[in-house]
Amino acid sequence: MNAYDFDGTIYRGDSSVDFCLYALRRHPALIRFLPGMAGAALRYGLGKNSKTEMKQAFFRFFSSLETEKMTKDFWDRHLERIYPWYLEQRREEDLIISASPEFLLRPACDRLGIRHLIASRVDPRSGVFQGENCRGEEKVRRLRETMPGAKLDRFYSDSLSDTPLAKLADQAFLVKKGEPRPWTLS
């Protein structure tokens, strides 16, 4: 099985950020959440809260949206941001493993014919995380929990925070500027 991070790896950009901006352009009243988002980012930068807590503060605006319809509309316009190199080698048994919210990525995976998705569990109605942000060692834990005994032939990511998962794969690739290159692990 080949496994892929999503944002910055097979998707050009960060889907969570793009979704927030997309929602803000369509619902300008969401601007009222910006001070809380800025405060959460500052606290994270100062080491006062975790990445999960920061992202949860960002995702609070979900409570003001019809997220199911919004995610469908979002992917109608953003699926074109999937890198061609991935589309050329995509396989049905691929695994996407990402820190982005599962409900946000599920429609994209469905459209791409990807059945296996492990992502952050976030309530689409409240923005509240239901567990840890699926990042770093948490990706390894979630993989073992969800797919015990899974063997990773190849793993692709744009982030060194995914080193724990890269070490599990027979081959790992670091994606920079949309180009996968062999990842030298130490």
CA distances from 121 to 14, 47, 144, 174 (A): 17, 23, 16, 25
Number of domains the chain contains: 1
pTM greater than 0.75 (yes/no): yes
Distance separating alpha carbons of residues 145 and 78, to the nearest angstrom: 30
Distances (CA, A) of 162 to 15, 24, 145, 156: 17, 30, 17, 9
List the Cα angle 39/43/44 in 5-degree steps. 115
pLDDT digits (tens, 9 = 90+) for 13-34: 999 999 999 999 999 999 999 9
Cβ pair 132, 52 in contact under 8 A: yes
Residue 13's CB is within 10 A of a number of other CB atoms, namely 12
Q: Are 109 and 90 in contact (CB under 8 A)?
A: no
54-103 tens-digit pLDDT: 888 888 888 888 888 999 999 999 999 999 999 999 998 999 999 999 99
Q: Give residue 83's domain range.
A: 1-186
CATH of the domain at 163: 3.40.50.1000
